[in-house]
Amino acid sequence: MKTTRLGTTGPEVSRISLGCMSFAGFYGPTDQDESFACLEAAKDQGIDFLDTAEIYGVGVSESVIGAYQQQSGHRFKIATKGGIVIGGARGENNNSEDHLRRALDGSLKRLQVDKVELYYIHRRDWSIEIEQVVETLAKFQQEGLIGQFGFSEIAPSSLRRATKVAPVGAVQNEYSLWTRYPELGLIQACEETGTTFV
């Protein structure tokens, strides 16, 4: 399995990661045994990097990963996301320090870890300047709760603003046969700033 580094100082992770939204039943019924088998198969293929989020099944995905790691003794490198208000209005996001701290604390408890390798802002809260959000995330880093931090679905201009405050480890954005939008500037901005494009 080929690897890549998260940001310029982060850990090496498998270039193919496993997205764990399906553990929460987004694509149809599932159960813990099936999810455990999926994680076991990923491990056997050399995948050591998982992607999950607080909102995936309102913590279900994270809880499954935490339970698997406890039972198997195997530790993946994990990226999770916060910032969407669970139970809020459609599109309601909160990037305040208090909200993100509660979200991250809940994620760590469900994952049964003291630290995650990467923590993303799932969606921007436009009432808070991105520089302030970066200051919050850098504080989580200093406290040893997260390794790198990143943003999901961000504009190149926002990324450049963020990196003036502190290095951004990764940006997650759809890049597929359906959409090539990242080629319009985001991939280039990641290269300029030393940010890993996921």
pTM of the full structure: 0.95
Active site residues: 56
The phi and psi torsions of 178 (rounded to 5 degrees) equal -80, -35
Between CA 182 and CA 31 the distance in angstroms is: 35
pLDDT tens for 2-35 read 999 999 999 999 999 999 999 998 888 899 999 9
* Residue type for position 196: T
Closest CA to 62 of 23, 29, 97: 23
| 26 C-beta neighbours (distance < 10 Å), count | 14
Contact 13, 77 (CB under 8 A): yes
Is the torsion defined by CA of 180, 181, 184, 186 positive or negative? Answer: negative
* Element housing 109 (H / E): helix 97-111
Q: What is the pLDDT along the chain (198 residues), one digit of tens a residue?
A: 999 999 999 999 999 999 999 999 888 889 999 999 999 999 999 999 999 999 999 999 999 999 999 999 999 999 999 999 998 888 899 999 999 999 999 999 999 999 999 999 999 999 999 999 999 999 999 999 999 999 999 999 999 999 999 999 999 999 999 999 999 999 999 999 999 999
